[in-house]
Amino acid sequence: MKYMNAMARLLALLLAALMLTGMLALAEPAETEAPEAEAVEAVEGEAEEPTEEEEPAETEAPAEAEDNSYGLIYSANNPIPDIAERVRPAIVQVVTKVESWDADTRTADVYDAGSGSACYIRPLENGEGGYLLTNYHVIQDTDVYTAEWLDGTVSDLELVGYDDGSDIAILKFEGPVPGDAEPIPLGDSEALRIGELAIIIGNPGIDDVMFGSVSAGIISGLERADPGLGNFSHHITTIQIDAALTAGYSGGALLNAKGEMVGIPVIYTLGEGMNFCIPISAVKGFIDQIIDSGNVVRPRMGVTVVTIDGPDEAMRRFPPIGAQVYSVEKGTPADKAGLQEKDVITEANGIRVKSSRDLVDAVDQCGEGEPMKLVVYRYEYDDDGNIKGGYEVLNLELELEIID
């Protein structure tokens, strides 16, 4: 009997062991194989072929646009200290003087006229000296020029030439370049974007000049028409900035986040935070012309015009408002196209012309060899210069030329 009971217990233990082994075998695939296969699939899928949802995360907004923003000045990547260290030595104060002669006392004199800023932009070919870029209004109607550099060095300057149409002038100094000054690289103002960083370096102040002052803000607007500056006799648009500017910054440098010069401050405030600069790309060609020849030559039509007032629409005895031809130079594009004295130009390349300035602006927007389409009203006059009545409308086309 004891043997039978022992055998029964042994069989029960064997059966329990077999049942436990089966349960473990059934549970093993669910715990190890399935999750492992899914994990491998997921990892391979991410590494070999990103889904469409994941691609935008890899191609977010370009870092360059973000790097040019005003927020840079509050970051560890603030470029202004390095730019200021490199550019400040290349910004000089230009002091201008006027010569006088008194015929009664037969004495000559020279007296101070004013001051502004200028930028060292190009060395002389022999390396002993260089060219400074400033505003024409800084040196206008003056005779003697000197530059004071950041390190206190004073250089005599020679006026190479100027263009009052775009308010720029080029001065030259000879001798060793003072201190650590290096030419400021000229950038591309046409690549500017509204909202990006704007850095101004200049020498504000009249009696007490604050050399190498740095101001910063953003590009507030582009291609602003002449906002009442009165600085330009030819067509030019300006860059609007909100950086703080005062007298003395004229002729200084507007710089981008790369430290490239993209404009020239002209100092005019329509209101707080509204200042304007000449785009460097608009005057690069003029800078080269002045350095090469001392002046700027623009393509033109070959006419002299005056503003004529009148009705918006032509009437039999009253010419419309426009630019009336005063004279025509022989052999010029205007002469070849058939323009005559007293013709009234009312349209140029689709732009309504209501004054001689409007026509100059239209011409300035065309380059040498480019076509200019004109709408012209021609009236018939008697021997006394009075309009007989009636007119004809002409559509003329000409190509602008450089005229000596």
State the catalytic residues. Answer: 137, 167, 250
Asked if 346 and 352 count as a contact pair (C-beta separation under 8 A), the reply is yes
Asked if 211 and 149 count as a contact pair (C-beta separation under 8 A), the reply is no
**Residue found by looking up tokens 């000049």 in the block:** 209
Q: Is 255 exposed, middle or buried (0-12, 13-18, 19+ CB in 10 A)?
A: buried
- Rounded Cα distance between 10 and 75, Å, is 79
Asked if 88 and 201 count as a contact pair (C-beta separation under 8 A), the reply is yes
How many Cβ atoms are within 10 Å of 284's Cβ, its own excluded? 13
The CA-to-CA distance between both ends of the chain, in Å, stands at: 138
CA 148 to chain centre: 27
Single-letter residue type at 20: L
Single-letter residue type at 90: A
Closest CA to 392 of 404, 379, 375, 383: 379
Asked if 72 and 82 count as a contact pair (C-beta separation under 8 A), the reply is no
Rounded to 10 deg, the angle between the 2-31 and 33-48 helix axes is 10
- Rounded Cα distance between 78 and 82, Å, is 8
- The CA dihedral of 47, 53, 59, 60, to the nearest 10 degrees, is -130
